[in-house]
Structure 1
Amino acid sequence: MVFQNTLKKYVMASGIGLHTGARVTIKLHPAPVDSGIRFVRTDLDPVALIPANIGYVTETSLATTVGNAAGSVSTIEHLMAAFFGMGIDNAIVEIDGPEVPIMDGSAYPFVAMIKQVGLSSQKAPRRYIEILEPVTVSSGDKTVTISPCDSLYVSVGIDFDHPMIARQQFDSRVTPHIFERRISRARTFGFLKEVEYLKENGLALGGCLDNALVLDDKTILNQDGLRFSDEFVRHKALDLIGDIYLLGNPVLGKIDSFKSGHAIHHLLSKELLNRPYTWRLVELDAERPADPWAVQAISGEKGIFTSVSV
């Protein structure tokens, strides 16, 4: 992954939105170098182009939404996690509705779409955000810290007053192989009382046991049970990865989070942008064999483009 990647060709899928309950079709298309991830709302007239970037985040309460004056797209975090996890830098996402389909509640259906068509290497250097100094944000008992590391490493903790969840911890480096096998299949989850309340208020209209883990006061209602014994915290790691990718580049840093969610993930990203001395953009040296998950800067100053070699 010295170079940027896009998709070899377009691929499409359909499903329903978790909150809107509306059926929607998405088409993932190849995109030029340095264009990033962009959503195109084809159901609007004129069509709306919305970059998947922190500067366009408009909502983080129940899911992550990006938008501008032309339109918006919500619940993008699972798709963004799949793009990051599988190494996609540039893609156009055509969508004919306001919400990315929830699919099975995980990122794996999007991973499968990407694998179906494959990656196309683009002869332009891939730029990584290298963390140089720790940055911490907190909100009540929620906290997230990002600190220097030679790869992306996530350390995620949760604590729920429920016998099926309780306190869980997930620690892992994030590579395409690890993401696909250990993270991408973890499903979103919710509590029956909360789901009922949301539906009464016009939200979670598409939520069901086929696309989410649902818990009552004591147990899980899904007959197929858990995919991992710690599936709940793994899904929190998935959400974190998707939200952080809205910075626009893959990150080299260790992220420690406890009881975090979309809002505090966004707060961390904004804090990084407000402190440009805590990070820099780096590139791998294409002239030498490279391990894309372990880089070392060889030149440059904080907050500017530079080259790196391993």
Structure 2
Amino acid sequence: MKFSRQTTLRSQATVYGVGVHSGLPVNLTIGPAPIDAGFIFIRTGLEGADREVPATAESVIATELATVLGDGEGALVSTAEHVLAALRGMGVDNATIEIDGPEVPIMDGSAAAFVAAIDQAGIVTQQAMRRFIQVLKPVQVAMGDCFGELRPHAAGFRAEVEIDFANPVIGRQKYALELSPEGFRREVSRARTFGCMSDVAKLWSAGFARGASFENSVVFDETRLLNSEGLRFADECARHKVLDAIGDLALAGLPLLGAYRSYRGGHKLNHAVLIALLADRTAWRVVESSEAARRSRAPAEAGHGIVGGMVAPAYGPDVS
């Protein structure tokens, strides 16, 4: 984790694609935002004025098939997690995300296109110190046999994800990542959303996943991978779960100083753990870069300090 000043985008960059559930074409443009703005979605293409929705936990109105943000008048942006993961993973603090449809485009099912858009726009440093939400004590949520936890972690943000699917081709996988722009780009940004063909067929019949295809999803049946090009990583499913967790936890509003661990989790669990953390004011505090850097060195220098030690497919069940 780089303890430094806040960042935003130098200019705008646009990506074009379709929504995985609606199948409708959509344009998404990322651009600069002021100091302390965080991530703000601007929904265009509506009757009347454009509507803004901050990318915060309080804006989440659904987590069943994807992370959906909205306001008092209803849903505005669905499948927000991949672009949020790219912004947080690449070290952007403040950005606008203008979108002219109800869903963030699925692109190839990963965050790679959004990373490329960030590269095109460029990242610039702002004059204010970066702020963090520092996790002070463990916060845990269990949902049946699914489990999620945020705990203190002095060195930045760490994601530890384990999945365990009944489907034997996916099976049980683990992946952990110490978040940095380099690590995010190399290790998880290209990991695609995934699901089982039986689930996709059910969603199609229910009117969902109309934009899903082998070009934007990794699909399995009971005996094999159906994508002819194969996997990008042997553990691509677990890596995508890490990608989604980073995006879902970006809804904290500030970067987290902590470690997130989940077992058989998804968007619903990720959100529940974040809400549980924010609801307990003894479990976190806001710190600035300079203070966070000092405290990150304290355990090694003084022998005390912090005791320490962020996915669901775009379609399909919320648990693994």
TM-score by length of 2: 0.89
Q: Deviations 1:57-77 (Å, cap 9, x if unpaired)? A: 000000000001355100000
* Residue 94 of structure 2: aligned partner: 90
Residue 29 of structure 1 and its aligned partner are, at CA, apart by 1.1
Residue 232 of structure 1 and its aligned partner are, at CA, apart by 0.4
Unaligned stretches of 5+ in structure 1? 298-310
* Residue 24 of structure 2: aligned partner: 22
* Residue 305 of structure 1: aligned partner: none
1:195-214 alignment, distance < 5 Å: 195-214=200-219
* Residue 71 of structure 2: aligned partner: 68
**Runs of 4+ with deviation above 2 angstroms:** 290-297
1:183 aligns with 2:188: yes
Unaligned stretches of 5+ in structure 2? 300-320
1:221-240 alignment, distance < 5 Å: 221-240=226-245
Q: Relative CO higher for 1 or 2, CA cutoff 8 Å, sep ≥ 6? A: 2
CA distance in 2, matches of 1:202, 1:103: 20
Q: In the alignment, which of 51, 54, 57 is matched to residue 51 of structure 1?
A: 54
* Residue 171 of structure 1: aligned partner: 176
**Closer, same or farther: CA 292–217 of 1 in aligned 2, 3 Å:** farther
Question: What amino acid maps onto 2:148 in structure 1?
Answer: V
* Residue 285 of structure 2: aligned partner: 280
* Residue 308 of structure 2: aligned partner: none
CA distance in 2, matches of 1:284, 1:192: 46
Percent identity, aligned pairs only, is: 44
1:218 aligns with 2:220: no
* Residue 300 of structure 1: aligned partner: none
Residue 88 of structure 1 and its aligned partner are, at CA, apart by 1.0
Residue 256 of structure 1 and its aligned partner are, at CA, apart by 1.1
1:254 aligns with 2:259: yes
* Count, aligned residues: 294
Are the aligned partners of 2:164 and 2:171 in contact in 1 as well (CA < 8 Å)? yes
RMSD: 1.7
Q: In the alignment, which of 99, 114, 139 is matched to residue 103 of structure 2?
A: 99
Residue 291 of structure 1 and its aligned partner are, at CA, apart by 6.5
Residue 163 of structure 1 and its aligned partner are, at CA, apart by 2.5
Are the aligned partners of 1:189 and 1:214 in contact in 2 as well (CA < 8 Å)? yes
* Residue 39 of structure 2: aligned partner: 37
CA distance in 1, matches of 2:42, 2:72: 13
Question: What amino acid maps onto 2:274 in structure 1?
Answer: S
Moved more, 147-156 or 96-105: 147-156
